[in-house]
Amino acid sequence: MSFPPAAGHTHMTISTDEATFTDQLQRHHRELHLHCYRMLGSFHDCEDAVQETFLRAWRSRSTFAGRSSLRAWLYKIATNACLDALDKRPRVPVSGEVSWLEPYPDELLEELASPSQDEPDATVVDRETIELAFLTAMQHVAPLPRAVLILRDVLNCSAAETAELLETTVASVNSALQRARAGMREHLPERRLDWAPGTDATAAERELIERYVDRCERADARGVAELLHEDLRFSMPPQPGVWQGRDRCVQEWVSGGYGSDAFGAMRCVVTRANRQPAVACYVRRPGDDGYAPLALDVLRIQDGAVAEIITFGEEVFPAFGLPPSI
């Protein structure tokens, strides 16, 4: 991705009329939202960052001289807004856990999936750079190298473009990129070190999800276990703790009441988050009339089995347009 001036315009001006100016900015809302999400790792925090970006853009509109594209100018403001937010409220993973991590609905990614002349490149929403494993690893990288990594490796900006956006030197950008890549290698799952082009779910993956849903709804713990990788990783941000290993994870679920009469009955709705399959789980406790939201499981599939489950609470359901009950 590069930031040339809009087609047919060597220099671009922005409106001094607030309504028109807002309309110009809103065209870039979704891509900036995703950019801030990569920087911050939190779906809710990135909306605040975008609003701060638009506010700063309005206040400094007189400084935009059209030497670069409006998009480049907005990315510069958004990146600095995120860096300032991270400086004011530093977030450091504890024991490898990113407690503030939140999923991103695929439905919103689809708004960016068909780029045109005036829209971002397809690389913006490549599966390998939006998966939760990638986002988790990125949150272990210090803020400035993280920004460099996103601009260089995700958005495909040149070193010179990145240096201009961050108001630094090319040498500093190259140094920060080396540190960021080293940090990513340390924290990415081994199979993600060589990113493969993202594609839609295969027929085998869809069939695996169907079996997963069926066995979850039947509260068949042994049946669910058959679909899990023996090295399954399970976490529930923002709750502390990461469970490793299929047998241990299943035992934890059973010990927590899964499959018992007291737990209740389950129904599932399949969706997608971060270019990964996700299952929204609803539960009907004894005596209840309907099924209430329980959790959203985002799955990572590897070698034909579920290799990782990251479970999020019911608070993420509205962002996915999931019903409040079924």
Q: Cα–Cα distance between 83 and 39 in angstroms, integer?
A: 8
Residue 98 pLDDT: 92
Which ranges in the chain are annotated with CATH 1.20.140.160? 18-192
Burial class, 57, CB count within 10 angstroms (exposed 0-12 / middle 13-18 / buried 19+): buried
Which ranges in the chain are annotated with CATH 3.10.450.50? 203-320
- The predicted-structure confidence for 210-252, as pLDDT tens digits, reads as follows 999 999 999 999 999 999 999 999 999 998 888 999 999 999 9
Asked whether residue 197 carries a pLDDT value surpassing 50, the answer given is no
pLDDT band at residue 196 using 50, 70 and 90 as cut-offs: very low
Q: What is the mean pLDDT of residues 68-80?
A: 91
- The predicted-structure confidence for 102-135, as pLDDT tens digits, reads as follows 999 999 998 885 544 444 445 556 667 899 999 9
Categorise residue 243: left if φ over 0, alpha if ψ from -120 to 50, beta otherwise. Answer: beta
- The predicted-structure confidence for 267-311, as pLDDT tens digits, reads as follows 999 999 999 999 999 999 999 999 999 999 999 998 899 999 999
Q: What is the mean pLDDT of residues 82-87?
A: 97
pLDDT band at residue 8 using 50, 70 and 90 as cut-offs: very low
Higher per-residue confidence, 188 vs 147: 147
* Contact indicator for 104, 296 with CB cutoff of 8 Å: no
SS3 state of residue 211? helix
Q: Cα–Cα distance between 207 and 213 in angstroms, integer?
A: 10
* pTM of the model as a whole: 0.88
* Contact indicator for 73, 57 with CB cutoff of 8 Å: yes
pLDDT band at residue 97 using 50, 70 and 90 as cut-offs: confident
CB hemisphere CA count around 184 (13 angstroms): 27
Percent of the chain with pLDDT over 90: 68
Asked whether residue 189 carries a pLDDT value surpassing 60, the answer given is yes
* Contact indicator for 127, 188 with CB cutoff of 8 Å: no
- The predicted-structure confidence for 51-69, as pLDDT tens digits, reads as follows 999 999 989 888 886 666 8
Question: What architecture (CATH level 2) is domain 18-192?
Answer: Up-down Bundle (1.20)
Asked whether residue 254 carries a pLDDT value surpassing 90, the answer given is yes
* Contact indicator for 317, 309 with CB cutoff of 8 Å: no
Topology of domain 203-320 in CATH is: Nuclear Transport Factor 2; Chain: A, (3.10.450)
